[in-house]
Chain A
Amino acid sequence: MIDPLFLAEAAVNGLLLGGILALLALGLNLIFGVIDIVWIAYVDLVMICMYAVYFVVQVYGWPIWVGGLASVGLGALLGLGVHLLIITPILASAPVNQLLATGGLLFFLQSFATFLWTTDHRSVRLTLPRLELFDMPISVARLIAFALSILVMLGLYLFLTRTYIGTAIRAVSQDREAMALMGANPQRVYLVTSAVGGAIAGVAAALLIIQYAVHPFFGAAFGPLTFMICVLGGLGNMVGAFVASFIMSEVIAISGVIWSTEMGYVIAFVVFIVMIFVRPGGILARRG
């Protein structure tokens, strides 16, 4: 029998992990919803931004918030770059080409990072106070990451619902052609969306590097998980992805303490496959 305290601790850790997964899924979903393209290399952009934070903070000695801002800026630039250099030339071609192109970017970024920075694991060490809640140790870094993820998601929600350009982004994701008839240049809306999606990757990078070491294959751990969450929530469905993030993170965390971390991922994949059979349109899809 497992100590209930361990289970509770795992549940808290799962919740904290879910926040950052939701942020990643939201960024990917935003881009998919508007441009109709899945950036396979999304979490590899996060990896590049994590290196940026590492260099700014650990190597050049700037405070962590500077590293975070640099990461957000770099993420936005990377997002623009991906759209202009990779997506724009093949926007009108078959979806499989777009998948292959962003998949190619994934391998490029991994090799690029290995070439420049080797496969060493690098981490940013912050001195944070320890926190205990009912005898459970709680990582302050994770707590901060969770809180900021929720805040950024709330900000994104307000941006999409309360601002003019945010509403235009939602309108484009509902009917691209109708929005062109209103006078919106689709290319501009795509650029704004790509920059916002990239900036979210930058935020996620800053929140991940205070918990995990970065290495060139960092995307291999979080990338597939992010796609699974997006599909589980129904591609393009923001609320669905949010719920799916916490389901997956709890499955991983709790089965992680019952069996092992590896087993946690195995069970998460099994849950994913079963759910896809049961609810192919995503957990929140209406039955039709």
Chain B
Amino acid sequence: MLTTWDKALFDLINGGAGQWPAVDAAARLLVNDYLLPSTLAFLLVWIWLRSASPRGRSVDTGIVINAVVAQFAANMVLKLVNLAYFRPRPFDPDPTVHLLFYRPWDSSCPSNPAAFGFAIATAIYLGDRRLGKAALVVAAIWALARVFSGVHYPLDVAAGAALGGGMAYWVSQRSAAAAWLRERLYHLLQKGLVA
């Protein structure tokens, strides 16, 4: 049932691809591995540097550390999931899919880009609501572009977003080990004049 809805929703979104060259060009700009992930990473660079007060510096450095740790943790969980479960890409069983991107060979679910994007965006959101909303929009656009371009089902990006967002929440709010690591890293970076 769920996969039927997932396929129907995928067909609806991907159906828009290949209709208008300008939209396809924009989608290609958004779906690639460079621009939107770099935008999220540049946001982290800005957050790292933007504050002058000790309290602000501590919070901002914490956001950056949370984002990096959450991203790595989400990626590790995703690799483990991929060992146990493989879902073919939308274009594998259906050659009529409008593909605007190259053919990735790894498992479609959970979506790696969605996990990466939402891990960083959620970590930012939990520390800075205003900038976090912008980061979540960037992550959502990236995820949507992956579906539009025919490389992921909607359920894949939803699962990736849940994995990345959940990991960021756990690292930022729940994990005592992550809090310990954050504190130690902050003082270490401060000694090195980079925090």
**A in complex with B:** no
| Residues of chain B whose beta carbon lies under 8 Å from any beta carbon of chain A | none
| Residues of chain A whose beta carbon lies under 8 Å from any beta carbon of chain B | none
